[in-house]
Amino acid sequence: MADASKIEKFQQAVEADPHDELANFSLGAALMEADRADEAGPCFQRVLAVNPQHSKAHEMLARAQIKTGHTDLAIDTLRNGYQLAHRKGDVAPAKAMAALLEELGEALPETTEKKAPESVGVQGDGSFVCRRCGGNGPRLEKTPFKGDLGQLIADSVCQMCWTQWVGQGTKVINELRLPMYDPKAQEMYDRHMKEFL
């Protein structure tokens, strides 16, 4: 269960900047953990107002809606979120939303666009498609860091989305107070980065 000081810290961050996507999401997650779904729902709605492409926020909003007895709203949220997650290739949220729809006795919505590996990165005609925003560039000039993940990002994320992540990543480190020398903190940072990108 989330402790009151954690919730208070995130509430202060939201009060300081009501449009802070990470602060709203973190507050909503902490409230859900504290079994306060009625307060968590609006947090996830604010995340989606700032970033309608946030697949995990769709999932968490639907969970809050289910817990508060708003099943019809949850079904709509899950259908929209599932289609979005499928389009973006966000596998974990898509699976979670599919399971929730199944639990509610609902069929999976048909997806209009399929996520295919060749749909992002450099195309056959030399153009570039960003996996996050669907835009066509400009792409990163070099890998942002070593390793497979760095190469994946360089191959499939545009410069604008990477720049947005750098700002968001700084917020993740500061708001979650991540000591980056700790491997667990690095894992949490990487998880947020993969979710964002």
Residue 103's Cβ-count burial label (10 Å; 0-12, 13-18, 19+) is exposed
Report whether pLDDT(72) > 90.
Answer: yes
For 111-163, what is each residue's pLDDT tens digit?
A: 765 444 345 555 556 677 887 777 777 888 899 888 888 888 888 888 888 88
Domain covering 1-115 in this structure, CATH number: 1.25.40.10
Per-residue confidence at 63, pLDDT binned at 50, 70, 90?
very high
Mean pLDDT of 55-65: 95
Query: Which token pair is 141?
Result: 């000039």
What is the model's pLDDT at position 126?
Answer: 61
For 21-50, what is each residue's pLDDT tens digit?
A: 989 999 999 999 999 999 999 999 999 998
pTM: 0.62
* Cα separation, 141 vs 126, whole angstroms: 15
Domains in the chain: boundaries: 1-115, 116-197
Q: 2 or 74: which carries more pLDDT confidence?
A: 74
Q: Is the CB of residue 130 less than 8 Å from the CB of residue 156?
A: yes
What is the percent of the chain with per-residue pLDDT over 90, rounded to a whole number? Answer: 41
Class level of CATH domain 116-197:
mainly alpha
* Three-class SS state of 48: helix
What is the model's pLDDT at position 29?
Answer: 94
Element (H or E) spanning 122, and its range?
A: strand 121-122
